[in-house]
Amino acid sequence: MNSTEIKQLFKSFAEMKVLIIGDVMIDAYFIGKVERISPEAPVPVVAVTKKENRLGGAANVALNIQSMGATPILCSVVGDDENAKVLSSLLKKSKMREDGILRRKSRTTTVKTRVIGGQHQMLRIDEEMDQDLNPKDTADFLKNIKSILQKERVNAIVFEDYDKGAINQELIQEVIAIAKAKKIPVAVDPKHRHFNAYKGVSLFKPNRREFEHGLKSDFVLDQQHALFLAVSKFQRKQNIETMLVTLSESGMLVSHKNKLEKIPAHIRSIADVSGAGDTVISVATLCLAGGLSPLNMLRIANLAGGLVCEHVGVVPIDKKQLLEETLKIKFTE
């Protein structure tokens, strides 16, 4: 890829629509200073100076898609509660459509509250329920997704699975079947519960820990050959077109058509890894929809994941910064 092709790729994102299906949540922050230890227990006291709510989970993927210039269509099921109102307010503030969001009294809107002291996360408090959707909610959710897919020209679908219940096996199978019929590429950011349910997808992006958990096997990072073999075997079994496995500070690997490549992580000033996986799947999906080769997709997604780690908290990628950094990469194909 030359600079003209890279700029054209980034420009093409503005014409894309991406359907994101998964568990949305609110990332709440209490930010302050730590200057003393509590007299009640040996814990630091955070003097809160700022409170903030941000879109998280699948909604953070939607934010990353939007930050790259594309149009996200977010689909999820949340509670019919006060936190759902906060979520709605955040979506409106971000100028993001809400027609894919269903509110149900049977559900709880997920909130992850992080306490930040200085530049460090001190504590996280989770409010959530993680049971799969009941049959009625599943049917309503599928009906809504199908309606959107009938009305919209969607360039890619992302399953953003956080094991909070919005995604179940029936939903996975139905949506993949529709995507195949419409020739829409499907990308997956999996968790543990339905790890083996995604068959015949275009892109499957677990991190190393998720991959090990899914296979119920551990891989020592210096035993690269064993890891490569396991990735290839799983890919064939699941009929996955491209596998992308993130390896934290050891980089990423991609497997496509019996060819595996591993690239090192970009050395960045890491402040917080929260949300990096959301950025990687977002950028990789757009590159996939843009027709990039798996290796070039990996290079750009790897760079994007490193850039967001420079910020404290969950933040979307900066398209301008990513473009500037991408133009510095020496692409060999």
What HEC string does the chain produce? CCHHHHHHHHHHHHHCEEEEEECEEEEEEEEEEEEEECCCCCCEEEEEEEEEEEEEEHHHHHHHHHHCCCEEEEEEEEECCHHHHHHHHHHHHCCCCCCCEEEECCCCCEEEEEEEECCEEEEEEEECCCCCCCHHHHHHHHHHHHHHHHHCCCCEEEEECCCCCCCCHHHHHHHHHHHHHHCCCEEEECCCCCHHHCCCCCEECCEHHHHHHHHCCCCCCCCHHHHHHHHHHHHHHHCCCEEEEECHHHCEEEEECCEEEEECCCCCCCCCCCCHHHHHHHHHHHHHHCCCCHHHHHHHHHHHHHHHCCCCCCCCCCHHHHHHHHCCCCCCC
Say whether 272 is catalytic: no
Residue 167 to residue 132: CA distance in whole angstroms: 7
Burial of 200 (0-12, 13-18, 19+ CB in 10 A): middle
Strands lying side by side in the sheet with 242-246: 101-104, 71-79, 17-22, 156-160, 186-189, 203-204, 242-246, 252-256, 259-263
Residue 240 burial (CB count, 10 A):
22
Q: Which of 23, 27, 132, 278 is catalytic?
A: 278
Kindly list the catalytic residues: 278
